[in-house]
Structure 1
Amino acid sequence: MDKDKIFCLPIFILMASVTFMAISTELVPSGILPELMDGLDISEASSGNLVGFYAIASAVFGIPLISSTVEFSRKKLLLVLLIGFSLSNLLVGLASSYVFALIGRIVGGICAGVLWPMIAAYGMKLTDEKHKGLAVTVIMSGTTLGMSLGIPLFTYIGTRISWRAEFFGIALAIATIAVACFFMLPDVSGVKKEKSNSPLTLIKNRGVLLTMFLTAIASITNYGIYTYITNLITSINYNRGIGFAQILFGFGSILSVIIAGKVIDKNMRYLTVFMFTCSFLSFTIFSFWSNISILCHTAFFLWGIGFGALVALFQTAVARQVPSNASAVATSLQSATFNFTIMLTSSFSGAILAKWSMTLLLEIMVMLLIVGILVSFNSKKALA
């Protein structure tokens, strides 16, 4: 494997199925909150916590667990995480009380905190230097497809059949993927834990800090609006509705992954500028020309392009700033930044909308994206 690493597409597609199910596990309660409220006899706020506590567990446990498992076999660790994800969904599906369901969600969040950074580092170990970015892009395309296809599919099952059947189905699908990974994925040994791959050392790396800063801007701007996409649709009087908007967004996200796959290993800096610019143009249209329907259609599509490959982009970028034995820990720092800023942004955006308006929120995000564009354009070394 070390001598003749090649880009084996079936392996990375299998790993993409892992991220597909991981993002589905993370977000699936959002589409069935009324069913969860009725089934568990809980309030709307409590049902929302089934998403929030998952994110908190992911953010809090990610860095320490990645750091403490760097010496573990990558394949065995992935299998343990898949079993954890399957168990998480099974627990929620069987839950007879809110506490039981919350425990299941926290288990899933802990697994997610380890999975997102480790699977990118694992994938980069399975190919040669010139295809590392492409490998991460294919692996993380599962998140894009999960948001655009997986969530609607599982939500359909949850609303038309039952929410318990939805979680059981996800648990079974993940268990099946785990079996396929056991037989198909090559093993990669962990790395020795040392000072060079400790979080305290990496946090002093300027390239890592820059990537974390750009990650924060990307997650604040995109998730700050996407979390309240229903409010956006209402604010701009989008007459085609949220379903059509999500379809356009989904097509843009898929195109984003395709573009990233072709460019990410050749010119990451221009790709970053391009993605930030797409989101900038989208939010500018929503802010000033929302009365023109064709421009709004274009804006949702552009937003998808600016959003779709973000995870792959910044996980590849942060891994390039450190030695190979530190890539998993470095991506855990990037992933934790992503999760923490999403949590903070949801509260910040909600406060802006409660006191002011979606227009003001969009204008704030436009200004942040300008900062992201300028910083990315001038980061010739870090985003080479």
Structure 2
Amino acid sequence: MSTSQTELRADSSAAADDRKLPWSPLLALGTAAFMGILTEALPAGVLPEMARDLSVSESAAGQSLTVYAIATGLSAIPVAIATAAWRRQKLLLVAVLVFAIANTVTALSSSYPLTMVFRAAAGVAAAAVWAELVAYARRLAPPHLQGRAIAITMAGIPLALSLGIPIGTFLGKVVGWRLTFGLVALVSVLLLAWIAASVPDFAGQKAGARAPILGGLRLPGVVAVLFVVAAYVLAHNVLYTYIATFLDKYEMGGQRDIVLLVFGVASMVSIWITGALVDRKLRALTAGSTALFIVASLLLGVLADNVAVVYLAMTLWGLAWGGVATLLQTAVTDAGGDRGQALLVTTWNSFMAGGGAVGGILLTAAGPESFPWVVLALLVPVLLVVVGARKHGFPAERPGAQ
């Protein structure tokens, strides 16, 4: 399978013709995204209990998230190369099976090193899932609906963050963190059956047709999109990772759950808007998302001591963030095909992991009040790149869109 835009469009058209969106396979793919994020971030909601049972500090238990993110970022390109010839459904099934096994081991293990090994394995599986979702969505949908298909598959990400993790945290308090991970493993097994029954299979790449992934950096627009991915994801994670600390600074720690709920609801609204418009308004939506996040960071930097302003800023931030995964996945795949997708997975997860590290340094050196200003410094160049990349990267009209 070549990654040229002509062949991508031909392959997608052959698979989808002019049919309507195939909801069952797309929702199965969205559930795979949901499980990837839930598996990654669930420890954050049960960290004290997990640390106690594994006989480690909360800081050490927190590395279960870092290990997962680093494994995903570092393995994205090697996994894409190693599995290029696999049947696509087989690859997806193996990845979800690893989620099920890793969550089962986490639920049962009393060994910290063993738990970390399987957390890393789950991170590698996530790299395979992220690399497949967009390609699958594009092949299942007619060209003029590909952006909407990507939005459906990517909806699992904010759904997991805004609903899945809070529910997992609640269950952890009610039935214990181990049983909660066991339930996640069970859902993964059910997802295996759904994918096997609903998601069509596609051939992998022939050896002679495989283009070097790093060669995707030379394709017009790819570097611009990856810069936006790096800076935007870093900005988001610097603030989001330490949002509890930021709220505590302004005596809003007791309202943390409500603040995050507002953020989550706004993110879901953003997903709906993005799904409806991404095929026709990719450039405008990306610029608008960045602008909303800039305004939110300004409000948090200047007026964070005002409760109403904080809620307004969180609403704007949620509206900005909810559709970002869909927007950037669509942009990089338009520009670089499968190679661009693999590069995005590496970039996204590397800078997601880096957000926690950078935020920790800022917290020690300048305090939580510095976060909004660092976010602002990262996002202004992002907006300039989105506006400037009008020919390649973020064109006014997407290739193949009607």
Tell me if both proteins adopt one fold, taking TM over 0.5 as the criterion.
Answer: yes
Match of 2:376 among 338, 360, 366: 366
Q: Percent identity?
A: 27
1:344 aligns with 2:354: yes
1:267 aligns with 2:281: yes
Give the structure 1 partner of residue 45 of structure 2: 31
Match of 1:200 among 189, 214, 223: 214
1:292 and 1:14 map into 2 onto residues whose CA distance is 42
Give the conservation status (yes or no) of the 8 Å contact 1:195–1:201: no
SS in 2 for 1:203: helix
For 1:263, the aligned partner's letter is L
Give the structure 2 partner of residue 283 of structure 1: 297
Give the conservation status (yes or no) of the 8 Å contact 2:32–2:129: no
Give the structure 2 partner of residue 122 of structure 1: 136
Q: Show structure 2 runs of 5+ residues with no match.
A: 1-14, 396-402
1:43 aligns with 2:57: yes
1:55 and 1:6 map into 2 onto residues whose CA distance is 35
Q: Per-residue CA shift, 1:69-108, capped at 9, x if unaligned?
A: 1222111111111111101101111112111211221110
1:113 and 1:196 map into 2 onto residues whose CA distance is 19
Give the conservation status (yes or no) of the 8 Å contact 2:17–2:142: no
Count of aligned pairs: 380
1:210 aligns with 2:224: yes
For 1:96, the aligned partner's letter is S
Give the C-alpha shift of residue 206 in structure 1: 3.6
Match of 1:58 among 66, 72, 76: 72
1:380 aligns with 2:394: no
Give the structure 2 partner of residue 101 of structure 1: 115
2:382 and 2:91 map into 1 onto residues whose CA distance is 35
Give the conservation status (yes or no) of the 8 Å contact 1:85–1:171: yes
* Larger CA deviation: 55-64 vs 285-294: 285-294
Q: After the TM superposition, which residues 220-239 of structure 1 pair with which residues of structure 2 at under 5 Å, given as runs?
A: 220-238=234-252
Give the conservation status (yes or no) of the 8 Å contact 1:118–1:332: no
Q: Per-residue CA shift, 1:113-134, capped at 9, x if unaligned?
A: 1111211111111111111111
Match of 1:307 among 303, 321, 335: 321
1:292 aligns with 2:306: yes
Give the conservation status (yes or no) of the 8 Å contact 1:236–1:286: no
Give the C-alpha shift of residue 237 in structure 1: 3.0
Q: 1:377 to 1:366 in 2, by over 3 A?
A: same
Give the conservation status (yes or no) of the 8 Å contact 1:125–1:188: no
1:194 and 1:46 map into 2 onto residues whose CA distance is 45
2:352 and 2:253 map into 1 onto residues whose CA distance is 28
Q: Per-residue CA shift, 1:276-303, capped at 9, x if unaligned?
A: 1111111111111223322221111111
* Larger CA deviation: 87-96 vs 5-14: 5-14
Q: Per-residue CA shift, 1:259-292, capped at 9, x if unaligned?
A: 1111211121111111111111111111112233
Give the structure 1 partner of residue 201 of structure 2: 187
SS in 2 for 1:267: helix
Give the conservation status (yes or no) of the 8 Å contact 1:16–1:141: yes
* Larger CA deviation: 118-127 vs 137-146: 118-127
Give the C-alpha shift of residue 164 in structure 1: 1.0
Q: 1:74 to 1:383 in 2, by over 3 A?
A: same
Give the structure 2 partner of residue 319 of structure 1: 333
* Larger CA deviation: 83-92 vs 290-299: 290-299
1:300 and 1:65 map into 2 onto residues whose CA distance is 36
* Larger CA deviation: 139-148 vs 10-19: 10-19
* Larger CA deviation: 363-372 vs 79-88: 363-372
TM-score, reference length from structure 1: 0.95
2:207 and 2:352 map into 1 onto residues whose CA distance is 30
Q: Per-residue CA shift, 1:201-238, capped at 9, x if unaligned?
A: 11222411111100011101111100001111122333
For 1:214, the aligned partner's letter is V
Match of 1:245 among 259, 264, 277: 259
Give the C-alpha shift of residue 194 in structure 1: 4.6
Give the C-alpha shift of residue 335 in structure 1: 1.1
Give the structure 1 partner of residue 84 of structure 2: 70
Give the C-alpha shift of residue 191 in structure 1: 2.4
Give the conservation status (yes or no) of the 8 Å contact 1:66–1:328: no
Give the structure 1 partner of residue 363 of structure 2: 353
1:174 and 1:256 map into 2 onto residues whose CA distance is 27
Match of 2:184 among 170, 177, 193: 170
Give the C-alpha shift of residue 330 in structure 1: 1.8
SS in 1 for 2:46: helix
Q: 1:54 to 1:178 in 2, by over 3 A?
A: same
Give the structure 1 partner of residue 338 of structure 2: 328
1:242 and 1:119 map into 2 onto residues whose CA distance is 32
TM-score, reference length from structure 2: 0.91
